[in-house]
């Protein structure tokens, strides 16, 4: 077992894994299985199309998981993950980091308190600071699961 507090990094591109490991003082593992075999918790930040096997393995082994959104590439996979998590009492948290942004929290307080008045319509526009990498769009899911989901989450 690796020392407590160690970060194990895997990426299909060894250069990407090396860069990430250097940024967080982590150590690179040659395969995802090598990470899964020696970890107490897992962050899944792969493309949506590659998440299911990692989540299935982690849940089966009782490894708590933080999974970036969207949870899966499609509804059947998401339902499978949810059913598996329920059946195994697995701990899986889906990353909705924007719900904790100060601006989102402030707006939520204003609306919930009535200070913003009655909400009749919501119109959202989202821009990221940088353009996504080449090939990102083909693996990230559609604009609804990748971006609009934050707006839907914010309205709850």
Question: Residue 81's pLDDT is what?
Answer: 97
pTM: 0.74
User: Is the torsion defined by CA of 139, 143, 145, 146 positive or negative?
Assistant: positive
Assigned CATH topology for domain 8-96: Rossmann fold (3.40.50)
Assess contact for 9 and 21: CB atoms under 8 A.
yes
DSSP string, 53-69: HHHHHHHHTT--EEEES
List, for residues 21-33, the tens digit of each pLDDT value.
999 999 999 999 9
Express each pLDDT in 89-145 by its tens digit: 999 999 887 888 898 899 889 999 999 999 898 887 766 667 666 666 666 666 666
Query: Which pair of tokens denotes residue 88?
Result: 């195994």
Domain residue extents for the chain: 8-96, 98-154
Is the pLDDT confidence value at 3 over 60?
no
């Amino acid at each position: 077992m690796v020392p407590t507090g160690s970060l194990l990094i895997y990426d299909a591109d060894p250069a990407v894994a090396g860069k990430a490991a250097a940024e967080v003082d982590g150590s690179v593992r040659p395969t995802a299985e090598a990470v899964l075999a020696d970890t107490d918790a897992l962050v899944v930040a792969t493309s949506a199309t590659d998440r299911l096997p990692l989540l299935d393995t982690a849940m089966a082994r009782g490894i708590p998981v933080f999974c970036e959104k969207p949870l899966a590439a499609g509804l059947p996979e998401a339902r499978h993950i949810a059913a598996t998590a329920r059946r195994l009492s697995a701990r899986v948290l889906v990353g909705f980091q924007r719900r904790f942004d100060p601006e989102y929290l402030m707006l939520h307080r204003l609306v919930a308190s009535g200070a913003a008045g009655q909400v009749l319509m919501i119109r959202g526009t989202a821009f990221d600071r940088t353009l996504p990498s080449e090939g990102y769009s083909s693996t990230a899911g559609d604009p609804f699961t990748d971006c609009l989901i934050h707006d839907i989450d914010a309205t709850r």
